A and B are shown apart, each in its own frame.
Chain A
Amino acid sequence: MKVLIVEDEKELSNSIVQYLRQESYVCEVAYTVREALEKVALFDYDCILLDISLPDGNGLKILESLKQESKLEGVIIISAKNSVDDRIKGLNLGADDYLTKPFHLSELGARVSAIIRRKRFDGKNQLMFEEISIDLLGKNTQVHGKPVELTRKEYDLLLFLLSNKKRVVSKNAIAEHLSGDEAEIFDNFDFIYAHMKNLKKKLHDAGCHDYIKTVYGLGYKLEA
């Protein structure tokens, strides 16, 4: 699976590449609009991460050219501007998602894998991990083929960890993923512990191996 990262901040694009590589994506980087246009003309990508403000122009140009060639890859706009206008403009031009800087790499990972899943499995969107299988359309979870009843938050949590498997996901990232901007309403991460405890218990009761590991002081990691 090929991902193109269009981001002029080298340090940031490097971090994204390193993080996504662990998920065995093939990553390429473009630092300018020109480079990006060349790359999308030559290759097909499963997902493109697109910064809008680039040194030689607006990243939305790339979106326009993709649209003209009807090669609309799953595009995620990553922008320092949290502006509603830009968001609407980007999504109208065919972008699939919009992520505001600064973001957690795990959040980006989850969005990228959601886009790739959607492209790969058109319709029959199923996510498998060992004995766990998730029907992404019906939002049902099964363990050993038997349904497990999860609350929305527990489901979101499991999906988030699965999208970032083999990597440590921080409590901050989980909190923001589950509660969005309202995460700050909680003084601590007790609410995450509660959801995590319930999720683990439900999976365990369904006969699932305990794949979710607590990483002391940081967060959690889902690993086979």
Chain B
Amino acid sequence: MKLLIRTVRNYALVSALLFILSTPLFYWAIYSLVIRQMDASLIEHKSDFLEAAQYIDTEAELNKHQRMNKEFSVKIIDTPLADRFYTEEVFDSAKAEYHPYRIYSTTITLHSQPHELRVRESMVSSKDLVSAIVSIQAVLLVLLFIALVLINRQLSNTIWYPFYLIVNRLKNYRIDKDTSLQLPTSSTLEFRDLSEAIDLLIQKNKSTYLAQKEFTENASHEMQTPLAILNGKIDLLMQTELSEYQAELIGSIQHSTARLSKLNRNLLLLAKIDNQQYNSKESINLSSVITALLDQFEEAIQQRSLQLSSALDTKVLIKSNKALVEILMSNLLTNAIRYSPAGSVIRLKLTASTFTIQNDGTPFKNPASIFNRFSKEDQSSAGTGLGLALVKQVCSELGFDIRYAHQQGRHIFTLRFD
């Protein structure tokens, strides 16, 4: 959930709650104020009446006054009553409906006789006022809420801008390619802290990465000379008088040395691709690269009695690094030739955007890791375990995409280069 939606949702919840609670409360508060005001005015009306009552001498006069001033009604009572205020619905014959009235009932003495005086006042206009005030308040609250959402959105666009920028930069950052992450310097303390923390982390990672990369390269380099010496000594040892047993031992030592040399060469190659020592680009006809490699491998193909079924589009041109493309194709072809069962068919297909190579074989036990370094299906195999890692590395360097699938008893590697 987006941060904005989350905050707005919280605002909305609180506002709704506030609205629901405050409206009756507000209504009640205004209402009580109005009532108090009315009651005070009713008491004033009473004194008005008492003033007028001095000039009313007879019951007939009183009745007349009552008819003229509907808000007063006087009734003879036996015993004085306590003062009270109340609200009553009174039928309005003119409009044929009930209207609320505020009524003040009190006892007055007229002609030495206790009378109950009721002073009343219509509440219609006051009630309308109250509802008007409450509606205005409701509208204001809604407007306030809308304003909050808008302000929030605006804030998230401006205040959170550095944050989204940082996230974007982080997403696109590649430790092997980019030198540094150009993080924005925000005036907001939190984002500045975040930028600094990320910068620090990246610097540390970068130096660890570089150290590791350098180590691989240096280690492989440093191994070249001892390997050369070892090779030389074995070659010399072979020139001496040897028993069959000794010869056999030397043979297997040499075999292992050869493997070690090959491994080391591939590690160096990986390090070199890492270091982007293959930058130049030229126009390459892929089908001629593949055909040239197949010519080179012809002997191995014949030796294993493999069949080739190739459909190569001869017009496919790409702009890329020739050395890397050759390494890539060579490794894919070598793999297929080495691991196909003798007498099986290798299928090659080159179209304007993809190259597919298929060869027979049982599924890998761990297909997810086939592109990892030193991941070997059969640990005893003479392969270096770096072939497909090289393929992957070259692909990522050249911006190609390599995929593996196993279907109908065949390993299928699909290379997308567009």
Contacts and interface: CB of A to CB of B under 8 A. Distances in A.
B231 A81 contact: no
Given A80-B224, A217-B244, A172 B232 contact: no
B44 interface: no
B320 to A, nearest CB: 16
A55 to B, nearest CB: 13
Contact of B258 (A168, A172, A179): A172
Given A191-B299, A191-B303, A12 B247 contact: no
Interface string B22-66: 000000000000000000000000000000000000000000000
Contact of A22 (B234, B239, B248): B239
B231 A104 contact: yes
Nearest to B301: A185
A94 B364 CA distance: 50
B1 interface: no
A66 B234 CA distance: 33
Given A19-B235, A101-B227, A170-B238, A186 B258 contact: no
A173 B235 CA distance: 9
Nearest to A9: B225
Nearest to B224: A80
Contact of A81 (B221, B254, B262): B221
A190 B337 CA distance: 15
A15 B231 CA distance: 9
Contacts of B268: 82
The interface centre, meaning the residue of A18, A80, A171 with most chain B CB atoms within 10 A of its CB, is: A80
Given A102-B231, A191-B300, A80 B277 contact: no
Contact of A102 (B227, B300, B384): B227
Contacts of A130: none
Contact of A182 (B248, B250, B323, B330): B330
B230 interface: yes
Interface residues of B, number: 44
Interface string B289-313: 0000000110110010000000000
A130 B154 CA distance: 95
A15 B262 contact: no
Interface residues of A, number: 43
A190 B250 CA distance: 19
Given A182-B296, A185-B338, A105 B235 contact: yes
A18 to B, nearest CB: 6
B277 to A, nearest CB: 7
A69 interface: no
B82 interface: no
B contact patch SS:
helix
B261 interface: yes
A102 B262 CA distance: 10
B236 A105 contact: yes
Contacts of A218: 238, 242, 247, 250-251, 254
B238 A168 contact: yes
A101 B228 contact: yes
Given A182-B296, A182-B334, A187-B338, A80 B225 contact: yes
Interface in A50-96: 80-84
Interface in B373-388: 382-384
Contacts of A81: 221
Contacts, number: 114
Nearest to B381: A187
B247 A19 contact: no
B292 to A, nearest CB: 12
A122 interface: no
B251 A80 contact: no
A106 interface: yes
The interface centre, meaning the residue of A22, A106, A168 with most chain B CB atoms within 10 A of its CB, is: A168
A185 B228 contact: no
Contacts of B330: 182
Nearest to B333: A185
A22 B232 CA distance: 14
Contacts of A171: 251
A212 B189 CA distance: 82
Contacts of B337: 185
Given A80-B224, A184-B262, A215-B247, A102 B230 contact: yes
B382 A12 contact: no
Nearest to B248: A217
Interface string A184-224: 11110011001000000000000000000001111100000
B231 A168 contact: no
For the complex of A and B, list the 6 residue pairs with the smallest distance between their C-beta atoms, beginning with the closest: A15-B232, A80-B224, A102-B228, A105-B235, A102-B227, A101-B228
Given A191-B299, A217-B247, 20 more contacts: A9-B225, A11-B233, A15-B233, A15-B235, A22-B239, A83-B272, A83-B277, A100-B265, A101-B225, A105-B231, A167-B239, A171-B251, A184-B384, A185-B297, A185-B300, A186-B300, A187-B382, A216-B247, A217-B244, A217-B250
21 contacts: A9-B229, A19-B232, A19-B235, A22-B239, A80-B221, A80-B225, A82-B268, A83-B272, A84-B323, A100-B265, A102-B261, A103-B228, A173-B235, A182-B297, A184-B384, A185-B338, A187-B338, A190-B303, A216-B248, A217-B250, A218-B250
